[in-house]
Structure 1
């Protein structure tokens, strides 16, 4: 009996506080201040270009340029350090990059991370292919903003996007598509 009285009393206090928060204020709210004009955000590609270009600094200090890989198949893999499926596919993509002379892989880290932190991460999760950190607020202009991670593009030797994979991809899937398209 004592507990039920305490419970009802506590519920009454909670209800009173909730209703007090919902009541109208005696004073009208102050008018919203006009915000200063913001710089216009860079245009984001609605779709990936048929023949995308990409030239960005890699984590190792080099410059990665997609055009330098013409004549070869290129796997462009958008991923992030916090993405479990991305981490799972990294070793397989690394092996693919090392094993196949006609296929190159580049990892585009779609992540808000500093270069030194990415370098430390890559010591724990090493890969044989170059990693580029992509600015999430200004992604590469010729690639659509990823709708999910991982997102992988397979670029044909002529530089044209041959296939897009949404979600994890295996070396076997990439090699099967390359065999059909070669």
Structure 2
């Protein structure tokens, strides 16, 4: 018999911590947090190890809350998705429909930010394109290294969903 772990006891990563810092920035900008309190909450968010460490940071704040603190969406019944794969599409599993292999290879083979455009990161794609163009090709290392990192560690699409393997 397998038991699933308590969702609040699951370890979080850098992506989730950054989402919390971004949400705290919104509350700070809207005047809900004073500077010292904002700094304390950001420090706590950056040092958080588990989802349960983040819950108190937003207990007294209205939305927006980071996606990591939202309840998981219910898994729909089989057949509710077009062309189901083993019952669920990548989007139903919180995954992107974009491939990390394609993204990484595009970054390496066409080092002008093309892989970032493909994954939906238009801002980073434009930045990489401009760096390569304005440095007469010397800035080509950035997209190539970026492609290698994507191939090794994976990444996220423009909507924050994990790229599929």
- TM-score, L = length of structure 2: 0.20
Q: Which has the higher strand share?
A: 1
Higher relative contact order structure (alpha carbons within 8 Å, sequence separation ≥ 6): 1
Q: Which has the higher helix share?
A: 2
- TM-score, L = length of structure 1: 0.19
